[in-house]
Amino acid sequence: MKEEKKNLIVELTFNFALKIIEYVEILENKKKYSMANQLIRSGTSIGSNVREAQSAESRADFIHKLKISDKEAEETEFRLQLCQHSKNYPDCDYLITDLEIIKRVLGKIISTSKK
């Protein structure tokens, strides 16, 4: 049986999406519904676009889907920074740290894929 090679960015973004879901549940318990709704969309979209890129039809399509993931990461980072600096929001520093790693890996994959 062939051993499947791990895909770092797929793994990172999947785990990040799980953490976003948990954080959103905390926000909803605190009745922060608007922010929770936006974060669940952008935070899980990063991984779904990365996963979609795995079945890209071409190199250009692959790069395009990863760029969408990168844009979603930027949006998510903005929203998490709002939470980080707003009163009465739970700690999200761990999510920002994870997101910085994801953004670096995405950037490296995109730049390498362009060559």
Alpha-carbon span 59 to 113, nearest angstrom: 7
The residues, any chain, with a CB within 8 Å of residue 64's CB and separated by 6 or more, are 56
pLDDT reading at 5 higher than 80: no
pLDDT band at 115 (very low <50, low <70, confident <90, very high): confident
pLDDT at residue 81, rounded to an integer: 97
Note the pTM of the prediction, 2 decimals: 0.91
Structure confidence by residue, pLDDT tens digits, 40-75: 999 999 999 999 999 999 999 999 999 999 999 999
Q: How long is the chain?
A: 115
Domains of the chain: 13-114 (1.20.1440.60)
pLDDT at residue 47, rounded to an integer: 97
Token reading at 71: 């844009």
Alpha-carbon span 37 to 14, nearest angstrom: 18
